[in-house]
Structure 1
């Protein structure tokens, strides 16, 4: 017991001296000798504790942190370990610290999945900033909006902001296609497509107008194929063959009808998939 107490005191003194040496910028050899002394008295990495992971696979975090096992606690480069962990796709923030005498603790703040991005036939999970998190297995797609097209993931923050203009439409949303790297086609769960104009302000204004018209005339779920609001003065509807368009009069836009598409439209998920810009 006396030996254990002596070893503990030596380790504490070594840690204190290491801190002093770091503060005053003493030679690295002094650091090494103090670190080795601390390790000999039990102050070396024996355990790794990862906290804060939920949806992500924490195995890569352990792989990085376990690379420090059996190293003196004083020789662990916390900044380097933290940097390597922060580079993992799921990690939004990481903090690594020592819990003396033998544990390296990693605190993780995960990124939150916000949408699925489809491009060139591949599905990937992305967060609200458009950061790619991991591939999505076909058939096991989470209940998140589907963003389609080249660079659609990079537009995810702008699309989320766009939908905030008309929050009443959020529960009806299936996904959206980023068309020509300049504007959105919005797809609803009931199968309709809404073509929005270019530009954030014009697109938001059109979406607000559509939400107003839908609230007044219950447009969604009535079998209409497509709404086109790219022209700020017009509201164009495309009806299936043989179907009568709803009677709509609007003081802000001229309501017109387009000829029906030649073929029966695909179901909503199929329609979105067919419009992959890859």
Structure 2
């Protein structure tokens, strides 16, 4: 007896499901006709009210919620609510292929099947993306607004070169050729201190273009490697002042173009230079009667 009842119950459920689907298809046809006559917004309002009532009155939310939602998306697509445009603003560095893979949406997909919040969360996991704004713009457009991280330097560490931003976040270690003009920083903890140094370098007009690399030395100070092979040793403190003194010497006597191997800026009252033959001498360029 028990098996017979289970079989009958199963048959009734199947028949009920078939009837429900037929009823849905009839409703879909009527709603499509309504869309042609009164417009898609009217249809969506009717559709949402009717869908909610159908699920509530049928007590079928647990069994049929996913199916109903899918049918709603499909019907909305048939009456014009499908993806036709994907608008992305703010992309400068992010890989378009990565963005497409993350969004996982194609033209023609039902627009209501696209979840803006999920898309935003996934986009913000991309290393280049600091912040993402995602929205559906009915009836047919998905809008993506990106705020990207700014590349600041190339970090050389453990045999790899990575593009980093001012916060020391690694942006990529692939396809770095477009960033070859950025300063290379060297040292395990160099990314933590690089933004301050590069800010001070940028404050001195013409200096940034002369520098090839900066090495974080002894966890406390920087050595600068210039493109002409010259090394400049900066002090642990008052780095900005040392750079200003260096540029004053450059303006007064073209110090950076001289035949030197190194310039030591670690003493406050003088600049010590080493010539290529190896002799060490004090470099004293008079500026307003004072040693620098």
TM-score, length of structure 2 as denominator length: 0.69
Aligned residue in 2 for 1:160: 198
Flag the structure with higher helix content.
2
Aligned residue in 1 for 2:56: none
Say yes or no: does 1:64 pair with 2:102: yes
Aligned residue in 2 for 1:82: 120
Q: Note the C-alpha offset of 1:193.
A: 1.0
Given that 1:118 and 1:124 are in contact with CA atoms closer than 8 Å, whether structure 2 keeps it comes out as yes
Instruction: Flag the 1:108–1:114 CA change in 2: closer, same or farther, 3 A.
Output: same
Given that 2:131 and 2:147 are in contact with CA atoms closer than 8 Å, whether structure 1 keeps it comes out as yes
TM-score, length of structure 1 as denominator length: 0.72
Q: Name which structure has the greater RCO, CA cutoff 8 Å, separation 6+.
A: 1
Aligned residue in 2 for 1:25: none
Unaligned regions of 5+ residues in structure 1, if any?
A: 19-27, 254-278
User: In structure 2, what is the Cα distance between the partners aligned to 1:115 and 1:65?
Assistant: 29
Task: Give the greater-gyration-radius structure (CA).
Answer: 2
SS of the residue corresponding to residue 197 of structure 2 reads helix
Given that 2:273 and 2:283 are in contact with CA atoms closer than 8 Å, whether structure 1 keeps it comes out as no
Aligned residue in 1 for 2:217: 179
Unaligned regions of 5+ residues in structure 2, if any?
A: 1-31, 52-60
SS of the residue corresponding to residue 171 of structure 1 reads helix
Q: Note the C-alpha offset of 1:110.
A: 3.0
Q: Deviations over 1:198-255 (max 9, x none)?
A: 13xx1111111111111111111222111111122332111111779696345344xx
Count of matched residue positions in the alignment of Structure 1 and Structure 2: 242
SS of the residue corresponding to residue 225 of structure 2 reads strand
SS of the residue corresponding to residue 167 of structure 1 reads coil
Aligned residue in 1 for 2:253: 217
